[in-house]
Structure 1
Amino acid sequence: MKILQTVLMSAAITTSGAGFAADKKDNPFGLVYGGAMTENVKGQVNIHPVSYKLNGLDIVANVYTPANYDPNKKYPAVVAHPNGGVKEQVAGLYAQHLAEQGYITITADAAYQGGSGGQPRSVDKPANRIEDVHGMADFITQYAGVDNNRLGLLGICGGGGYSLAAAETDKRFKVVATLSMFNSGRVRRNGFEDSQLDTIQQRLKQASDARAQEAAGDKILYAGDADMTDEQIAALPFEMYRQGYEYYWRTHAHPNSTFKYTMSSLLDLMRWDATNQIELIQQPLLMIAGEKADSLYMTEDAFAKATGTKDKTLFKIPNATHIETYWKPEYVKQAMEQLTAFYGKYLK
């Protein structure tokens, strides 16, 4: 049985900030989530750092294999990938848990981000991110033991939006799941909760000027590149951003993970939307989100527009916020119960 996992936004699970610090310092694989593997033990889940080429760029990834993995057998696979995060964070958490369920999983850093290649750094264009998902499928379907007829997809946060887009046309993915889906295009265009509709043209002008500056060989401008104090984080208007900054910059920080992206990327982001052509998804679809997440409206919108599949389920984790689905044990457990049943029904 085998599993491929693609998570577009990564996050890690830890029981506390102090526990995270110890994990980060001591973990030989650089994993920063609670309960992360510290060594490969025979007969248990193992992690395999790998690299491959994607459109000329070096992509770094981790493959998780299940206990007693035998390359001569056939396993289902699931793919996972992050948005702003890296494979050592939430993507790794869910990949490890899925491997514990008997799947082969893969998590990779996005092109131009994390440990993967590409210049300038922190380019964040939808076409690249969707291609990352296809690239993970290319790699994992050649991995020893993977059953290409039992390939699933998991997209987390921004990766959820890009995974939906990839699955519209990539029918290697037999099933599609998202966790705390984040529609990067809608938010970059309209603002969170559509709060910046009156500044769209102004922000497009800034992005256009940034691209012109890049083309002239001048300084590359970035958005989202801010080192905020605890007081500034607490004053942010949306819970997802407050908890997100705490997660990525405090309790689960990783040196390869950053919120920033090139300002010129907005030319592509602001004309893109995760729900465009979503009716092309005919595969079984599971969408999971926190009941109290202020990003829930994005999952609900995408779910309603996914009219091409006759088999779709929306599960809201009671009392959970967006970021809490990345690390809080009780919410991760509920998400995994849903994923286990979903993948088990179609991939095993």
Structure 2
Amino acid sequence: MKQITIIAITFLMTLGQVYGQKSKKVNSKKMNTTETVEHYTFQLGDKVTRQKVSFKNRYGITISADLYLPKNTETKTFSALAISGPFGAVKEQSSGLYANQMAERGFIALAFDPSYTGESSGEPRNLASPDINTEDFSAAVDFLGLQKNVDRTKIGIIGICGFGGMALNATAIDKRIKAVATTSLYDMTRVMSKGYNDVVTLEQRMKTLEQLGQQRWKDAENGTPAPSSNNLPEKLQGNEPQFVAEYHNYYKTPRGFHPRSINSNGSWTATNPLSFMNMPLLAYIKEISPRPMLLIAGENAHSRYFSEDIYKVASEPKELMIIPNAVHVDLYDKVDVVPFDKLETFFKQHLK
């Protein structure tokens, strides 16, 4: 059983298969009111408009995003939210759905592709970084604070899955963020360095680091990073861990598939875990206080313990909400399960 768990951990860390996609180049810093016709995994609300936008982060990477606005915003300023995740997803999936829902509830909401993924720039592709992805949230706050219809004193963020950890990290360092919420939270530095439920031994960790070091030499010799070989299966065989089946049922089916999503149709690089292995995301979690934190997790989610453990060590004000019977991916897109009314109440209370 332990060996199966370890294999599942490795699988989780490097979901996807090689696809060799190229990102679109995004240059405009200003809002573009024209909308490209393309695939979204949800329907745009009748009371919402969506605009393609882009901005640069502190590392010079161009972040591609969709800005969701309540209709009739011309003469009013709004509270705003920056949203990203899950880990390996794009803005046309869960984060866009969240942004749409929150815009329907009266917020300006920005769903963005993280650096090196989706339509955002950055080479090579399909990389993640606890530092750079934390910066992506702050860059989103930069952008929102420059919009004439946004009150820059009323900006919050939402992180989904692996970007929940990035959202908390960004909030700890960026005092402009006035409130933070996470759903189906993952601390990616913890899971990559210690494994799921912290089962990875020191010996196993050292072996992984040795392999990653050897892979760096191979990549340097070849002049390009190799993709991970641990991929989400195209078809389920029936013997996969339950959470792998759940991911498949979202990313590999019409429910959540998107061609630019790493977990739907791509692969992280083989050395992607390196920057996560010894850079803990949440060392300064207590410094979010006195700003409020809302952690939301499914009762039956394999990831539930991440939210519970963070709740134990975080300072007040904080709130942990467990959704009955829900699994991890239910909080990606099931609008009757994700507590959007709670998110609305939380942010309206604290962004005032």
Bin the TM-score by the shorter chain.
0.7 to 0.9
Extract unaligned runs of 5+ from structure 1.
1-26
Per-residue CA distance 1:177-201 (angstroms, 9 max, x = gap)? 1111011111111222223335211
Q: Deviation of residue 300 (structure 1)?
A: 0.6
Is the CA contact (8 Å cut-off) linking 1:67 and 1:102 kept in structure 2?
Answer: no
1:60 and 2:56 matched:
no
CA distance in 2, matches of 1:292, 1:57: 37
Q: Deviation of residue 322 (structure 1)?
A: 0.7
* SS of equivalent to 2:178: strand
Counterpart pick for 2:321 among 315, 323, 330? 315
Counterpart pick for 2:81 among 62, 65, 78? 78
CA distance in 2, matches of 1:179, 1:256: 22
* SS of equivalent to 1:148: strand
Q: How does 1:263-302 map to 2 (within 5 A)?
A: 263-282=270-289, 283-302=291-310
Percent of aligned pairs with the same amino acid: 33
Q: How does 1:3-152 map to 2 (within 5 A)?
A: 28-33=37-42, 35-37=43-45, 44-54=47-57, 55-70=59-74, 72-82=75-85, 83-152=87-156
Q: Deviation of residue 273 (structure 1)?
A: 2.8
CA distance in 2, matches of 1:249, 1:337: 29
Counterpart pick for 2:330 among 319, 324, 327? 324
1:186 and 2:190 matched:
yes
Normalised TM-score (structure 1) = 0.84
Q: Deviation of residue 272 (structure 1)?
A: 2.6
CA distance in 2, matches of 1:285, 1:224: 37
Is the CA contact (8 Å cut-off) linking 2:55 and 2:139 kept in structure 1?
Answer: no
1:209 and 2:218 matched:
no
* SS of equivalent to 1:173: coil
Q: Deviation of residue 78 (structure 1)?
A: 0.8
CA distance in 2, matches of 1:224, 1:341: 43
Label 1:224 to 1:336 Cα distance change in 2 as closer, same or farther (>3 A).
farther
* SS of equivalent to 1:322: coil
Q: Deviation of residue 241 (structure 1)?
A: 2.4
Is the CA contact (8 Å cut-off) linking 2:297 and 2:323 kept in structure 1?
Answer: yes
Work out the number of aligned pairs and report it.
309
- Which 4+ runs in 1 deviate beyond 3 A? 215-219
CA distance in 1, matches of 2:81, 2:164: 13
Is the CA contact (8 Å cut-off) linking 2:299 and 2:323 kept in structure 1?
Answer: yes
Aligned amino acid, residue 216 of structure 1? E
1:230 and 2:235 matched:
yes
Is the CA contact (8 Å cut-off) linking 1:286 and 1:313 kept in structure 2?
Answer: yes
1:169 and 2:176 matched:
no
Label 1:229 to 1:87 Cα distance change in 2 as closer, same or farther (>3 A).
closer
1:195 and 2:202 matched:
no
* SS of equivalent to 1:51: strand
Which residue number corresponds to residue 255 of structure 1?
259
CA distance in 2, matches of 1:328, 1:194: 29
Label 1:266 to 1:227 Cα distance change in 2 as closer, same or farther (>3 A).
closer
CA distance in 2, matches of 1:49, 1:29: 12
* SS of equivalent to 1:275: coil
Is the CA contact (8 Å cut-off) linking 1:225 and 1:261 kept in structure 2?
Answer: no
Which residue number corresponds to residue 6 of structure 1?
none
CA distance in 2, matches of 1:75, 1:224: 45
Is the CA contact (8 Å cut-off) linking 1:224 and 1:261 kept in structure 2?
Answer: no
* SS of equivalent to 1:256: coil
Aligned amino acid, residue 233 of structure 2? M
Per-residue CA distance 1:116-154 (angstroms, 9 max, x = gap)? 111111111111111111111111111220001101111
Which residue number corresponds to residue 12 of structure 2?
none
* SS of equivalent to 1:61: strand
Per-residue CA distance 1:181-233 (angstroms, 9 max, x = gap)? 0111111112222233352111111222222333334442233652514234x
Label 1:105 to 1:93 Cα distance change in 2 as closer, same or farther (>3 A).
same
Is the CA contact (8 Å cut-off) linking 1:109 and 1:116 kept in structure 2?
Answer: yes
Counterpart pick for 1:339 among 338, 343, 346? 343
CA distance in 1, matches of 2:164, 2:188: 10
Extract unaligned runs of 5+ from structure 2.
1-35
* SS of equivalent to 1:254: coil
Is the CA contact (8 Å cut-off) linking 1:290 and 1:296 kept in structure 2?
Answer: yes
CA distance in 2, matches of 1:274, 1:296: 18
Superposition RMSD on alpha carbons, in Å? Answer: 1.8
CA distance in 1, matches of 2:125, 2:91: 17
CA distance in 2, matches of 1:194, 1:269: 15
Q: Deviation of residue 289 (structure 1)?
A: 0.6
